[in-house]
């Protein structure tokens, strides 16, 4: 069987999950490890719900079966709940404490769970909740939110933090290396105490 470490990253199209997945992939290359992944491209990127599978040491297919992810990183509370069945019982969940309601809630008057209800439901897993928007702004740019999230999750990822940081430096735009390094470290520090 596959001895991979499986990470599912979810969010809303446009939130930067693709860059985060590239950073993880690059870090695997830096350590000379195999990696497989699959992600949503195309139409769903227009504000739809998106998922990105990353299998560190993966040798075969790119898809993580439901119930098998070791770690889930979610950029949105509702998306965390939508995909939470992908997580193993003992899996860890790192979630941005932020809720964007789908527009259908307003246009079709659908009922959405409240933030508190979502958090209560997510608590059956090991949950690390963080305000990545704010931490990213503190680091210097709200756009570094995805790197904050990676930093916060990094303690559970079987890759050296130096490799992840190196991957961040290689992949973010040159001008933002400093901001993103800071974002990663802030996330990592927070992730260390919230688990």
Partner 1 sequence: MERKYLLGNEAIAHACVESGVDFVSGYPGTPSSEVIDVLRTQPDRSYYLEWSVNEKVALENALAAAWCGIRALCTMKHVGLNVAADPLMTSAYTGVTGGLVIMSADDPFAHSSQNEQDTRCFAKFARVPCLDPASVQEAHDMIPSAFRLSEEFGLPVIFRPTTRICHSKGDVALGEVVPSTRKGEFHKDPRQYVVIPAHTRILHKKLNEKQPAIKKRLVELGYNQFEIRGKTAVIASGIAASYVQELLPDGVSFMKIGAYPIDEEWLGAFVNKHEKVLVIEELAPEVEEVVRQVAGCVPVFGKKNGYGSYEGELSPPAVAAILVKAGLLPANPFPSVDPVQNLPLRPPILCAGCLHRSAAYAIKKVFKDSIYPSDIGCYTLGLQMGVVDTTICMGASITVASGIAHSGDPRDILCTIGDSTFLHTGIQGLLNAVYNGANMTVVILDNRITAMTGHQPNPNTGQTACGVESPHVSLDALCRACGVHFVESVDPFDITGMMHVLEGAKKRKGVKVIIAKQMCVISARRAGVKRGRYQVDADACTGCGNCVRFGCPAIVFADEKAQINDLCSGCAVCVQICPVGAIGREGKR
Under the rule (CB under 8 A), what is the footprint of partner 1?
1-2, 12-13, 21-22, 25-26, 28-29, 33-49, 54, 58-63, 65-68, 78-79, 81-85, 101-107, 110-113, 121
Q: How far is the CB of 189 from partner 1 (least distance, A)?
A: 27
Q: How far is the CB of 86 from partner 1 (least distance, A)?
A: 8
Tokens of residue 82, six digits: 């939508």
Q: Which is nearer to partner 1, 124 or 192 (CB)?
A: 124
List, in order, residues 6 or more apart from 37 with CB less than 8 Å away: 21, 24, 25, 52, 53, 54, 55, 58, 62
> What is the DSSP-derived secondary structure letter of residue 121?
H
Q: How far is the CB of 12 from partner 1 (least distance, A)?
A: 7
d(CA 56, CA 49): 23
Beta carbons of 167 and 23 less than 8 angstroms apart: yes
Q: Which is nearer to partner 1, 45 or 176 (CB)?
A: 45
Q: Which is nearer to partner 1, 12 or 186 (CB)?
A: 12
Pairing of strands 49-56, 87-96: unpaired
Tokens of residue 97, six digits: 């404490």
Q: How far is the CB of 84 from partner 1 (least distance, A)?
A: 7
DSSP H or E stretch at residue 21: helix 17-30
Q: Which is nearer to partner 1, 80 or 190 (CB)?
A: 80
Q: How far is the CB of 116 from partner 1 (least distance, A)?
A: 15
């Amino acid at each position: 069987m596959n001895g991979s470490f499986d990470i599912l990253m979810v969010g809303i199209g446009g939130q930067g999950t693709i860059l985060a997945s590239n950073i993880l992939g690059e870090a695997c290359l830096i350590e000379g490890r195999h990696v497989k992944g699959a992600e949503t491209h195309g139409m769903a990127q227009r504000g739809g719900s998106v998922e990105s599978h990353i299998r560190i040491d993966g040798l075969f297919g790119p898809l993580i079966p439901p119930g098998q992810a070791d770690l889930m990183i979610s950029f949105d509370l509702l998306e965390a709940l939508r995909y939470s069945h992908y997580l193993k019982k003992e899996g860890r969940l790192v979630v941005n404490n932020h809720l964007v309601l789908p527009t259908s809630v307003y246009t079709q008057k659908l009922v959405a769970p409240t933030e508190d209800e979502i958090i209560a439901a997510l608590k059956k897993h090991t949950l690390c909740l963080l305000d990545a928007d704010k931490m990213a702004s503190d680091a210097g740019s709200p756009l570094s939110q995805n790197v904050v999230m990676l930093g916060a999750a990094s303690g559970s990822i079987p890759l050296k933090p130096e490799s992840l940081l190196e991957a961040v430096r290689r992949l973010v735009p040159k001008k933002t290396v400093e901001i993103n390094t800071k974002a990663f470290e802030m996330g990592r520090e927070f992730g260390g105490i919230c688990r």
